[in-house]
Structure 1
Amino acid sequence: MIEEEKKSDAKKMLWPTLAMMAFSTVWGFGNVVNGYVYFDGTKVVFSWVLMFLLYFVPYALMVGELGATFKNANGGVSSWVNATMGAKWAYYAGWTYWACHVVYISSKGTGGLRAMAWGIFGNTKWYDGLPTAWTQLATLVVFLFFCWVTSKGIPVLKSLATIAGSSMFIMSILFIIMMFAAPAINPHAGYYSINFNWKSLMPTFNLKYLTSLSILVFAVGGCEKISPYVNKVKDPSKNFPKAMMALAIMVMISAILGTFAMALMFDPKVVNNNLNEYISNGAYMAFQRLGEYYHVGGLFMYIYSWCNVIGQFSTLVISIDAPLRMLLGSKEAKNFIPKKLLKVNKHGAYINGIWMVVILSGGLIAAQALLPDAQAVMAQLVKLNSTTMPMRYLWVFAAYIALRKQQIKFDTSYQMTKNQGLAYTAGIWCFIVTAACCIFGIYSPDPFTLFLNIITPIILIALGLILPAIKKREDGSNPLID
């Protein structure tokens, strides 16, 4: 028996391996750029540190406890909610996870075309100069094509997503290293100086600050994806917290060093005066400038662009397919979702579910044709994503609070803390922070953006409530009462 346990332990991963897996899943260079752009340059550093210490660390440790408790659950957050709160709430959790991806799907098509413009032309002057109706029509065509790809069950782009994700992760780390090395290699390139005084690092707490916090929550969210690996680590109760602390430190170092690397390149005043341009193109401009410092022209920018093209389009397919399968393939689906939406074609794809994605995401793409230009579309999608995507994290914290209320019912190999008061405080705190950031993030000085930020969640929530009512009429029973 002891020999078998030793063999089993030998097969388990070390905590640094899990930390690296989590880091590549959670973090990306786009988060550094968005933080720098939205929070006035180096003033984002203070906010990053606060976000990591007061939000990200407890969030990651709660995910670890949920993953360790429900180690055999395959449905992720929906399974946790089902076990702790019941099938009705599990359906709503699954719906929220899927609904958040409606906006995300719209942004992948836009992001992919922008990356392609950089990869072909080396800039987006031609692309950004087109009428918005043309760029949105092109985005719609791309979106419909990949919906068709998803319906045919073509797996090749899903494999490419792993390669693209890894390469983008490597490029993000290389950017920071190479940018700090650049002044030694090319000292006369004309860098901006960084002031490490209190004024340069302390943010201005105003309406813009509060309404942008959702950008940071969106950036650090998503670590629930690594929950299946909690029990694959040696001695999880001891080593999982180590992995999560290492993850938090790596993300914090990457965010802070990445911010200072950006500060050597871009003047925050110039960024603030051209906000949409830097939101849309900041990452490409950074790699373009890095190439100039190393006398290789646009080489780094072209590599980054084509990695991003593959990443955006492969993620588009995964984002159409995976959340749909999680929603419609769950046990709760049969009780809460009309039968027509559960229809599967000969390729194993939820064909009517894909049509629902076509209508909702396609409608959002079409609506954005009213915006003034392609840069405004990209900026609007970044903001809309930051207010809708974090809504799915609310279910993680709700499930955690429910778990601690019923902890006597469940066995676990790892707990964030044995103190019930501290556990409740952490769960409630993270829930409130997430909800507040989502609500504040809705505000925009642009009336049309504000309208979309309000109407999109309302439509998605209403549809999630309507489907069980349709199901009730379909079979004459009310699953919400059962």
Structure 2
Amino acid sequence: MAETQNNSKKMMWTTLAMMAFSTVWGFGNVVNGYVYFDGTKVIFSWIIMFLLYFVPYALMVGELGATFKNSEGGVSSWVNATLGAKWAYYAGWTYWACHIVYISSKGTGGLRALSWGIFGNTDWYDKLPTATTQFATLVIFLFFCWVASRGIPVLKTLATIAGTSMFVMSILFIIMMFAAPAINPHATYYSINFNWKNFIPNFNIKYLTSLSILVFAVGGCEKISPYVNKVKDPSKNFPKAMMALAIMVMVSAILGTFAMAMMFNPKVVNNNLNEYISNGAYMAFDQLGKYYHVGGLFMYIYSWCNIIGQFSTLVLSIDAPLRMLLGSKEAKDFIPKKLLKLNKNGAYINGIWMIVILSGGLIAAQALLPDAQSVMAQLVKLNSTTMPLRYLWVFAAYIALRKQQEKFETSYQMTKNQFLAYLAGCWCFLVTAACCILGIYSPDPLTLILNIVTPIILVALGLILPAIKKHQEGKLN
């Protein structure tokens, strides 16, 4: 009776699938895929990425979540249980270090959204000297570092509202774009050529060095791991939820690509790559407004959702990964004591200063780029090569879990077959690593230097901190 009552409180697999979908997916992924992969040619890559990478990745997350259902720390907790405390520190460090680049991009993205939200374009903003736009980005960034140091809790609610509204806008865009030709048949639409060669990509250097964009787009489902055991009958229903998630993301990516193809000619996009990377989503909503005779209404709604989302996510990205790193059990063993200092608002003040130096340095370095559009394009690429590095720890923890599975009890396994489990873990690890390494390449020398130097500095700092801690302890002894 108690079991039945307990089961009735658990969520349906459909609820989990929707939660995961809104966490993983966003309209920006559709735009980036369309821009970087030559229009409809991205569809082949999306399908392959979902079937051979996203599905096994999501199912591995399910098994790790079900095995360590009482672990609050997510990936770091899984690594701690399977590989030990030192590796857990490195996993936590990687997760935090990846956010250094992400934080820099939120300030830039927020200012761009603000320009669209107030003026309805970025013409004036893009014509400003790069030093001016980067100085403005730095001021915004420092202001939000101060906000994070005050420990203001309302931002989590703002981020959730903005995230939900952006998700709803992404779905509405697809529906409304397909309805547009019936409502306004005389507007200008591009016809989609369903010739086989328009869906098969050119497997060249540009293609291989852009794959990290797709890996970045489908990553992040480890955030839903705490909910594995909150689903009714997880061993049966969790894989159902993950399959539903994969299908929804795949359908959204394909339909979104077709919707973009009705609006934008890939040849024009390729000739103005930085402009479409920076402004593609706003241009799409602006064009949609014209089809519906409402001017820039949809673009303004999207812009203001994005402004709230970018700036609230900026604060959360300064605060949350830092708390995960410095508040973990491993912190006191591997991180110098000064970094663990809390201010009167309960914020890690010296940790925030470390973010100011690293992210602020990156913002300043980008003042050397030719214009604001190239800064945005460079940040998208740099994010796509650094953020997926944290997924490597998911696969490392999964391989380690299967090696010692007799030690752990679980309510769900991706597969009973050990060989298939190892194969899936190693395959996803290698794909992620290869895409991140290939993604570093850029024909632009400054972008290439930033793509190489940024990860090196962050890795070196992660290795130096435990050495400093050891030296301090040696002095005390």
Does TM, normalized by the shorter one, top 0.5?
A: yes
Q: How does 1:416-455 map to 2 (within 5 A)?
A: 416-455=414-453
Instruction: Tell me the residue number matched to 1:256.
Output: 254
Q: How does 1:365-404 map to 2 (within 5 A)?
A: 365-404=363-402
Within the alignment, does 1:112 sit opposite 2:110 as a pair? yes
- Three-state SS of the structure 2 residue aligned to 1:476 is helix
* 1:422-468 deviation line (CA, Å, top 9, x unaligned): 00000000000000000000000000000000000000000000000
Instruction: Tell me the residue number matched to 1:174.
Output: 172
Q: How does 1:156-305 map to 2 (within 5 A)?
A: 156-305=154-303
Q: CA deviation at 1:36?
A: 0.1
Q: CA deviation at 1:336?
A: 0.1
1:97 to 91, 95, 98: 95
* 1:27-51 deviation line (CA, Å, top 9, x unaligned): 0000000000000000000000000
Instruction: Tell me the residue number matched to 2:347.
Output: 349
Alpha-carbon distance in 2 for matches of 1:329, 1:441 = 32
* 1:221-273 deviation line (CA, Å, top 9, x unaligned): 00000000000000000000000000000000000000000000000000000
Instruction: Tell me the residue number matched to 1:29.
Output: 27
Alpha-carbon distance in 1 for matches of 2:342, 2:473 = 20
* 1:47-86 deviation line (CA, Å, top 9, x unaligned): 0000000000000000000000000000000000000000
Instruction: Tell me the residue number matched to 1:86.
Output: 84
Alpha-carbon distance in 2 for matches of 1:238, 1:144 = 48
Letter of the 2:237 partner, please give it. Answer: N
Q: CA deviation at 1:158?
A: 1.8
Letter of the 2:370 partner, please give it. Answer: P
Alpha-carbon distance in 1 for matches of 2:156, 2:128 = 31
Report if aligned partners of 1:41, 1:268 keep a CA contact under 8 Å in 2. Answer: yes
Q: CA deviation at 1:110?
A: 0.2
* 1:114-166 deviation line (CA, Å, top 9, x unaligned): 00000000000011111100000000000000000000001122210000000
Q: CA deviation at 1:99?
A: 0.2
Letter of the 1:288 partner, please give it. Answer: D
Alpha-carbon distance in 2 for matches of 1:246, 1:197 = 29
- Three-state SS of the structure 2 residue aligned to 1:49 is helix
Alpha-carbon distance in 1 for matches of 2:103, 2:117 = 21
Instruction: Tell me the residue number matched to 2:17.
Output: 19
Q: CA deviation at 1:184?
A: 0.4
Alpha-carbon distance in 2 for matches of 1:477, 1:138 = 43
Within the alignment, does 1:138 sit opposite 2:145 as a pair? no
Alpha-carbon distance in 2 for matches of 1:83, 1:222 = 21
Alpha-carbon distance in 1 for matches of 2:303, 2:286 = 10
Query: 1:477 and 1:39, CA in 2 relative to 1: closer, same or farther beyond 3 A?
Result: farther
Alpha-carbon distance in 2 for matches of 1:195, 1:331 = 56
2:6 to 5, 8, 18: 8
Letter of the 1:68 partner, please give it. Answer: A
Alpha-carbon distance in 1 for matches of 2:107, 2:196 = 40
Q: CA deviation at 1:477?
A: 8.8
Alpha-carbon distance in 2 for matches of 1:336, 1:29 = 39
Instruction: Tell me the residue number matched to 2:148.
Output: 150
Q: CA deviation at 1:7?
A: 1.0
Aligned residues: 476
2:410 to 404, 409, 412: 412
Alpha-carbon distance in 2 for matches of 1:162, 1:71 = 24
* 1:398-425 deviation line (CA, Å, top 9, x unaligned): 0000000000000000000000000000
Q: TM-score, normalised by structure 1?
A: 0.98
Letter of the 1:237 partner, please give it. Answer: S
Q: CA deviation at 1:363?
A: 0.2
Instruction: Tell me the residue number matched to 1:311.
Output: 309
Alpha-carbon distance in 2 for matches of 1:93, 1:156 = 29
- Three-state SS of the structure 1 residue aligned to 2:41 is helix
CA RMSD of aligned residues (A): 0.8
Query: 1:26 and 1:477, CA in 2 relative to 1: closer, same or farther beyond 3 A?
Result: farther
Report if aligned partners of 1:291, 1:301 keep a CA contact under 8 Å in 2. Answer: yes
Alpha-carbon distance in 1 for matches of 2:296, 2:105 = 25
Letter of the 2:430 partner, please give it. Answer: I
Alpha-carbon distance in 2 for matches of 1:67, 1:142 = 37
Report if aligned partners of 1:158, 1:317 keep a CA contact under 8 Å in 2. Answer: no
Q: How does 1:25-64 map to 2 (within 5 A)?
A: 25-64=23-62
Letter of the 1:75 partner, please give it. Answer: G
Instruction: Tell me the residue number matched to 1:358.
Output: 356
Alpha-carbon distance in 1 for matches of 2:7, 2:53 = 32
Unaligned runs of 5+ in 2: none
Q: CA deviation at 1:329?
A: 0.3
Letter of the 1:458 partner, please give it. Answer: I
* 1:338-365 deviation line (CA, Å, top 9, x unaligned): 0000000111100000000000000000
Q: CA deviation at 1:315?
A: 0.4
Report if aligned partners of 1:63, 1:223 keep a CA contact under 8 Å in 2. Answer: yes
Unaligned runs of 5+ in 1: none
Alpha-carbon distance in 2 for matches of 1:310, 1:263 = 29
Letter of the 2:295 partner, please give it. Answer: G
